[in-house]
Amino acid sequence: MVNQPVPAARSQQQLIELLDVSVTFGRNPVLRDIRLSVPRGQTLVIIGESGCGKTVILKTMIGLVRPTRGQVTFDGNDINKLTEKELTHERIRFGYLFQGAALFDSLTVGQNVAFPLREHTDNDDHAIQDAVISRLAAVGLPESVINKKPAELSGGMRKRVGLARALALSPEVVLYDEPTTGLDPIMSDVINELILRTRSEHPVTSVVVTHDMHTARKVADRVIMVYPLSRLEPDEPQIIFDGKPELLDRSGDPRVTQFVQGEAGERLMEMRKMADLRLANQR
């Protein structure tokens, strides 16, 4: 299955839309003509090898990266036309779990989770403390971690603190950037279960970037696979799969099969050919 065209008329159910979005950093193109819609309430998982632009897609959705060309809309608003104040207001509707959790090392766990509440609400200290305890409990962490620093926590605990902070403002959309990277299989599945629980307990739209096929199969309503531009022909779509997770194993595209099954053979041959070509050009 390949990238499907997006209807010209915007459905009221499409919360996030990327319309012919291209992103170039300097002379390096990363995304090309991406057309993608995320319906309200859907959990979309984005897979693909390192460097294919998965995280860039995530960052364009929240306005952290502006497209070189094309349009990004959130709830019907073109985010590139918003003022900085308007964009900040829209970002409050998002929660973002960064790679590695991206906690403030100098702050305690409690202060990290409280940070968005202090920045964007008028709640008093007592209300914020109650919210922090509630959010930590929701991700399976006891009140006793509140005064610990991130350095005192395991990788899995830091991820859960990051998720508690992402959920602090009860966002409409949660963006997860490699939520299970670096975790053991048990802790990875704990994070997967928390993603599922978040969706079941709150009316939330989720976008998950991951290399982890177990995560993709477990949490996704829909999966897209993004392919590196450097390995595509000029007229080939960059999204090479778009469908339900159970269809991944039935894809007729060998590139999808290779990634899903973790087969390195063809990719190694490709890398050797590229290396040989570089050597030939240097002679």
pLDDT in tens, 154-165: 988 999 999 999
For residue 173, what are the β-bridge partners?
94, 205
Does any domain span residue 170? no
Does any domain span residue 185? no
Does any domain span residue 11? yes
CA dist., res. 221 & res. 198, Å (int): 14
Does any domain span residue 56? yes
Does any domain span residue 281? yes
Number of structural domains found in the chain: 1
Residue 201 reports pLDDT greater than 80: yes
For residue 94, what are the β-bridge partners?
173
| H-assigned helices in 92-154 | 109-120, 125-138
Distances (CA, A) of 73 to 162, 253, 266: 26, 30, 38
Identify the CATH number of the domain in which residue 76 sits. Answer: 3.40.50.300
As given in the structure block, the two tokens for residue 17 are: 């839309």
Per mean pLDDT, which range of 58-62, 127-131, 261-265 is the poorest? 261-265
Does the predicted model carry a pTM greater than 0.75?
yes
pLDDT at 58: 95
Average pLDDT, rounded, for the chain? 88
Percentage of residues in the chain having pLDDT higher than 70: 88
Residue 166 reports pLDDT greater than 90: yes
pLDDT at 10: 44
Listing DSSP states for 123-134 in one string gives: --HHHHHHHHHH
H-run or E-run covering 274: helix 265-282
State the residue range of the domain holding 81: 1-93+207-283
Residue 279 reports pLDDT greater than 80: no
pLDDT in tens, 215-256: 999 999 999 999 999 999 988 999 999 999 999 998 989 999
183: helix, strand or coil: coil
247, 207, 242: which is closest to 223 by C-alpha?
A: 242
Residue 29 reports pLDDT greater than 80: yes
What pLDDT band is residue 272 in, cutting at 50, 70 and 90?
low
pLDDT in tens, 72-110: 999 999 998 998 889 888 999 999 998 877 889 999 999
pLDDT at 262: 80
Does any domain span residue 175? no
Beta strands (DSSP E) in 75-199 are 77-78, 94-97, 173-177
Q: Region 142-151: what's the mean pLDDT?
A: 93
Query: Which has more confidence, 202 or 74?
Result: 74
Do 270 and 278 contact (CB within 8 A), yes or no?
A: no
Does any domain span residue 264? yes
Q: Are strands 28-39 and 43-47 parallel, antiparallel or unpaired?
A: unpaired
Does any domain span residue 6? yes
CA dist., res. 177 & res. 206, Å (int): 11
CA dist., res. 76 & res. 169, Å (int): 22
pLDDT in tens, 42-64: 999 999 998 899 999 999 999 99
